Amino acid sequence: MAVIQHETTIAEAADRLSKELPRHRVEILHGRLTVTPPADGAHALALSWLIEKFYEAGAKKAGLRYVQGVGIWLPTGPDDYAIPDFALVSKDFLAFKGRNNCYPPDVFRLIVEVTSSNWSDDLGSKVDAYAKADIPFYIIADRRHDEVVVCRDPRNGTYRLRTSHKRGESITVPEYVGVPLDLPVNLLLDGDED
């Protein structure tokens, strides 16, 4: 009796899980497959609030688009990609769509992650991967530690500046991102003003 063996690649496993687990976020970070369940209400509100703020700040007029759940190819491995919660991208990003609905890093100006059960990825492997991808401004609404972490100025695969911000403070999005804006820490963490 012949035995037929088929090894599944990590990319094939990610594709299969994406189909089997709708609404879950499937990513490959540093060659490791991760699956995150759907967001909770506060998480979703924070993302909706970001869309409002960037709209009011004139992101579209500045030639930028704000998107949720759009994949980014990462230079950390041949199949590596992440699906940020929120991103500010160049207006022509659709012209660069690749496999798994992912886009090249150079169309991304800002990425925001709101932590959930995968908080260690947002604060660890994604920091490294986004720095290697030269994402200029990375914001992490760290709900586990009740603070917002900002990473900026990527050079040689690492962020040179990393700051933590507490409730009552604001994060200033710099002009080089394309739309200067102040984002209150409380709204990034809670998703609402109440």
Measure the CA–CA gap between 181 and 163, rounded to whole angstroms. 17
pLDDT of amino acid 1:
59
CA 83 from chain centre, in angstroms, equals: 6
What single letter denotes the amino acid at residue 15?
A: D
0.85 surpassed by pTM: yes
- Confirm if 188 and 46 have CB atoms less than 8 A apart: yes
Q: What is the per-residue pLDDT for 182?
A: 95
List the chain pLDDT tens, one digit each, 194 residues.
566 666 788 888 888 888 888 888 787 788 888 888 777 888 888 899 999 999 999 999 999 999 998 999 999 888 999 999 999 999 999 999 988 789 999 999 999 999 887 787 888 889 999 999 999 999 999 999 999 999 999 999 999 999 999 999 999 999 999 998 999 999 999 987 65
Indicate the SS3 state at residue 15.
helix
Amino acid 152: pLDDT: 96
pLDDT of residue 103: 96
Q: Give yes or no for a contact between 77 and 30, defined as CB atoms under 8 angstroms apart.
A: yes
Q: Which two tokens stand for residue 166?
A: 């507490």
Give backbone dihedrals phi and psi of 173, rounded to 5 degrees, phi first. Answer: -80, 120
Residues 85/113, Cβ–Cβ less than 8 Å? yes
In terms of DSSP bridges, do strands 147-155 and 181-184 run parallel, antiparallel, or are they unpaired? unpaired
Task: For 92-150, give the secondary structure using H, E and C.
Answer: CHHHHCCHHHEECHHHEEEEEEECCCCHHHHHCHHHHHHHHCCCCEEEEEECCCCEEEE
